[in-house]
Amino acid sequence: MIKEGTLSNKKERIELYKKTIRVLDTLHIKYFEDTPCVKCNSNFIIKTEKGKEIKTIQSNKNQYSLKLETTELQVLAFKNKSSILKLYFKEDDKTESILLFEFEIK
C-alpha cells in the first residue's frame, strides 16, 4: 500500500519514481461515500497539472474503484508533457468533480 487516507483541505500527492516503476505495478484506488449513487454514471478523471482532461474511466456501479497501471500513468505524463497528473472523481453529470489526489512522476 502506498497511501491511505481521507479527503482534506490539503493536497495529497503520490510520488512515483521512474527508476522504480515496474511493468506489473498497479495502483488500486477505492473511493467511498456514505451515500453512494448506484444509478449514477460515475467516473474517475485524470487531468494534467494545467487541467487538461486526458483520460476518463467509468467506475464500477456497485463500488467506486479503479485499477491503474503505473506504466500507463508514466506514458500519460510523458505524452501530455505534465509530470503531475491529477485524479478526480465525478459521481454524475450534475455534480462537480472532486480532486482525490495528485501523482507526480519523478
List, in sequence order, every residue forming a beta bridge with 54; answer none if it has no partner: none
Kindly report whether the global pTM for this prediction surpasses the value 0.75. yes
Asked whether the beta carbons of 14 and 3 are under 8 A apart, the reply is: yes
Predicted confidence (pLDDT) per residue in 23-69, tens digit: 888 888 877 777 777 777 888 999 999 999 999 988 766 667 788 88
pLDDT bin (cut points 50, 70, 90) of residue 1 is very low
Domain ranges in the chain?
13-105
By the 10 Å C-beta count (0-12 exposed, 13-18 middle, 19+ buried), 42 is classed as: buried
Domain 13-105 CATH (choose: 2.60.40, 1.10.760, 2.40.128, 1.10.10) = 2.60.40
> What are the phi and psi torsion angles at 69 (to 5°)?
-75, 135
User: How large a percentage of the chain has pLDDT more than 90?
Assistant: 26
Which residues does 81 contact at the CB level (< 8 Å), separation at least 6?
none
